[in-house]
Chain A
Amino acid sequence: MESETISVEMFNEFVQVAELELTPEESKSIREKMNEQLRVIHELESIPLDEQLAPVIHGNPYPRDIQAPLREDIWKPFENTQGIIDQAPRSQDGYIVSPDVPHQKLG
């Protein structure tokens, strides 16, 4: 059974993409734990699967007669927009205030 392991470099890339700042202790512990958990995940490879067996997104099926119809594509204003804005750590004139968004020139 081929076993992937997560290297320090690979782990640091994940942390970057996950937009997390970790302490050195957290990084060490979480990477070790992930490698332990990978051993459990690798058990999937030992499951005999019929090639015809289709994957499922949900367990129970949704036959058309019980499915919810798609909602009409009509804009409905939310009745409590101020309640949303009020929860933002920083807001001004009905807008959420963010720090600078860095721009990167492509190419």
Chain B
Amino acid sequence: MTELIELSAVEQAALIREKKISSVELLEATLAQVEKVDGRSGSLEPYVEQPEDLEKVHAFLLIVRDHAMAKAKEVDRKIAAGEPVGALAGVPYSAKDVYCTKGIRTTAASRILEGWKPPYSSTVIEKMDQADAVLFGKVNLDEFTFGGTTETTAFKPTVRNPWALDRVPGGSSGGSAAAVSACEGAISLGTDTGGSIREPAAFTGIVGLKPTYGRVSRYGVIPFASSMDTMGPLTRTVSDSAFVLKEIAGFDPRDNTTVRVPVDDYLADLQKGIKGLRIGISPDYLKITYLDDQGNYASAPVDPEIEASVWKAADLFRDLGAEIIEDVPMSNTKYSVPAYFVISRIEAYSNLQRFDGLKYGHTTQQSVKDMYDLYYKSRGEGFGYQAKLRLLTGMFASQEKFYEKYYRRAQRARALMRRDFDEAFNPQGKYRIDAILTPSTPSPAFRFGDAVASDSLLIQFADQFTTPMNFAGTPGISFPCGLSSSGLPIGLQITGYDYCESKILRAAFAYEQATLDADWRKIKPVVLR
């Protein structure tokens, strides 16, 4: 029998409900796996790398054993007594450390929140609790989600990719992705502002779902860029992402951007198949486009193995009854990087102004002459390099004299990107597609330090295929499609129209089922071998 920790959340929940295993037993197995592969947790103490650090995953910042055990015992008691339980009863999960958890330390991987215990939980955490899932730990991330590698965390050691320990797990939900990939729980909750669920999912060979903006409540999640932040699951199977989304989606009176759109039965809908689904492929998602030194647009192809994966998947989808529509123009994709720089920095600047060293978190221990001095010193000590850089860049770009030149222009570029999606998905339009198939990233996971040191365009533009969905507000799912010749996971992305999570989950599920026996699926991450 497959080990408990390798089972999907759907399978784990069924075994618990059928009383074949207990929730406590599953929790113990999960914590034992963390003990085995994770190594020491990230910490704010001065970091000195130890040889054993290089062999571990380091996904977790905090394990809440007592909290989790109490919940697991309560689930077991309810089941023994024949009382009703939630859909995820007894299934252990972790959360990126930007989800506020009442009475449990929440850091956003930043020193500025040192020691903070939120007085309330985020809506998503409350919904997971109502579904009787068992929160057992908080995982590392890029500080305030500012990054795509998890290297900007203030809590060291940072997270390593379970497939290649000298490579990044992606980010900012790098801890979530690595934990799930290394079987430290079947579910982790992440967030996605420019690809922060989908990119790490691709880099670690798992599934990552970014729902439509407004589909899942943002209440109680520490924000990066409020007009793009989206909450979603990272899991090893497509079914598990569907399973979790059903529980966390829906209108929330505490988040006025959530919508009154019915929540589908995503898990049941997976069985509908993809016959007749129109799946588009765009040439604009098979190359990186950038401005060269002369100010002209130039392009570079994605990694050839990744492009080959797209076409191979297209053939498979066709065989399964889908219609493949080639040459769908998404020509404004290339504007995502400069527009993202402006909009995300301005929103980040606004969101970072709440941290003052006075109300919660880190406060300076130096003597201060007045309140402003306390602000300067506490924020100077508490924010990391990337937070300071984004804050100041956001402040620069949001000056009144640059309002038209930068912010309004970026918002109009955003409208252009949205127009790409509106035209491609228009049911009366030329293309009438239901979904678009793209690479999740232009290359597989890169080595530590390369995001800063490398001049590779494929690394510098690692999020060019994911940020357009954050601008457009549309959903996207990254799912594994094989391994590169160097044994690194490759991810494909299916993106759909507003609130059409059911369709993209169906497509990803169809791919998963059709490749269940593929040789690459028999290969495990190095930490599991």
Q: Which residues of B contact A65 (CB under 8 A)?
A: 260
> Mask for B207-219, Cβ within 8 A of A = 1, else 0?
0000011100000
Pick from B19-27, B175-183, B408-416 the stretch touching chain A. B408-416
Pick from B141-149, B241-249, B368-376, B508-516 the stretch touching chain A. B368-376
> Mask for B232-263, Cβ within 8 A of A = 1, else 0?
00000000000000000001010011111100
A55 and B411 contacting across the interface, CB-CB below 8 Å:
yes
Chain B nearest CB, measured from A22 CB (Å)? 6
Interface residues of B in 196-213 (CB under 8 A from A): 212-213
Contacts A66-B259, A67-B259; A30 near B291 (Cβ below 8 A): no
Cα A98 to Cα B356 with chains together (Å): 11
Chain A nearest CB, measured from B346 CB (Å)? 11
Residue numbers of B with Cβ under 8 A of A are: 102-103, 116-120, 212-214, 227-228, 251, 253, 256-261, 291, 295, 335, 337-339, 341-342, 349, 356-361, 363, 368-377, 379-381, 383, 385, 388-389, 391-393, 395-397, 402, 405-406, 408-418, 470-474, 498
Task: From A29, A37, A70, A71, give the contact of B341 (CB < 8 A).
Answer: A37
B371 and A98 contacting across the interface, CB-CB below 8 Å:
yes
Q: Which residues of B contact A44 (CB under 8 A)?
A: 335, 338-339, 342, 405-406, 409-410, 413
Task: From B253, B369, B410, give the contact of A71 (CB < 8 A).
Answer: B253
Cα A90 to Cα B365 with chains together (Å): 12
Q: Which residues of B contact A86 (CB under 8 A)?
A: 117, 119
A56 and B117 contacting across the interface, CB-CB below 8 Å:
no
A102 and B411 contacting across the interface, CB-CB below 8 Å:
no
A74 lies within 8 A of chain B by Cβ: no
Contacts A45-B409, A59-B213, A60-B214; A87 near B119 (Cβ below 8 A): yes
B379 and A20 contacting across the interface, CB-CB below 8 Å:
yes
Cα A55 to Cα B407 with chains together (Å): 9
Cα A53 to Cα B414 with chains together (Å): 10
Q: Which residues of B contact A18 (CB under 8 A)?
A: 349, 379, 391-392, 395
Q: Which residues of A contact B412 (CB under 8 A)?
A: 49, 53-56
B253 and A56 contacting across the interface, CB-CB below 8 Å:
no
List 13 additional contacts besides A55-B408, A100-B370; criterion CB under 8 Å.
Answer: A14-B396, A18-B392, A41-B406, A45-B405, A53-B415, A53-B416, A57-B227, A59-B228, A78-B120, A87-B359, A89-B363, A101-B370, A101-B371
Q: Which residues of B contact A78 (CB under 8 A)?
A: 119-120
Contacts A60-B213, A87-B116, A98-B374; A47 near B409 (Cβ below 8 A): yes
B295 and A46 contacting across the interface, CB-CB below 8 Å:
yes
Name the residue of chain A whose CB is nearest to the CB of B392. A14
Chain B nearest CB, measured from A96 CB (Å)? 6
Cα A75 to Cα B385 with chains together (Å): 40
Cα A101 to Cα B374 with chains together (Å): 10
Q: Which residues of B contact A11 (CB under 8 A)?
A: 392
Name the residue of chain B whose CB is nearest to the CB of A15. B392
Chain B nearest CB, measured from A35 CB (Å)? 10
> Interface size (A, Cβ < 8 Å)?
58
A43 and B338 contacting across the interface, CB-CB below 8 Å:
yes
A8 lies within 8 A of chain B by Cβ: no
7 cross-chain pairs, A with B, having the tightest CB-CB distances, nearest first: A83-B119, A60-B473, A21-B380, A59-B473, A55-B411, A43-B338, A89-B363
Chain A nearest CB, measured from B521 CB (Å)? 34
Chain B nearest CB, measured from A94 CB (Å)? 14
A19 and B375 contacting across the interface, CB-CB below 8 Å:
yes
A106 lies within 8 A of chain B by Cβ: no
A80 lies within 8 A of chain B by Cβ: yes
A98 and B474 contacting across the interface, CB-CB below 8 Å:
no
Contact sample, A vs B, 16 pairs, CB 8 Å cutoff: A14-B392, A18-B392, A33-B389, A40-B338, A41-B338, A41-B342, A43-B291, A47-B338, A55-B415, A58-B257, A59-B414, A65-B260, A84-B119, A88-B359, A89-B358, A100-B369
Cα A99 to Cα B496 with chains together (Å): 52
Cα A21 to Cα B379 with chains together (Å): 7
Cα A33 to Cα B397 with chains together (Å): 14
Chain A nearest CB, measured from B410 CB (Å)? 6
Chain B nearest CB, measured from A63 CB (Å)? 9
Cα A38 to Cα B391 with chains together (Å): 14
B360 and A59 contacting across the interface, CB-CB below 8 Å:
no
Chain A nearest CB, measured from B58 CB (Å)? 26
Q: Which residues of A contact B119 (CB under 8 A)?
A: 78, 80, 83-84, 86-87
Task: From A29, A67, A70, give the contact of B260 (CB < 8 A).
Answer: A67
Cα A78 to Cα B220 with chains together (Å): 14
Cα A65 to Cα B470 with chains together (Å): 23
Q: Which residues of A contact B212 (CB under 8 A)?
A: 60
Cα A19 to Cα B391 with chains together (Å): 10
B393 and A55 contacting across the interface, CB-CB below 8 Å:
no
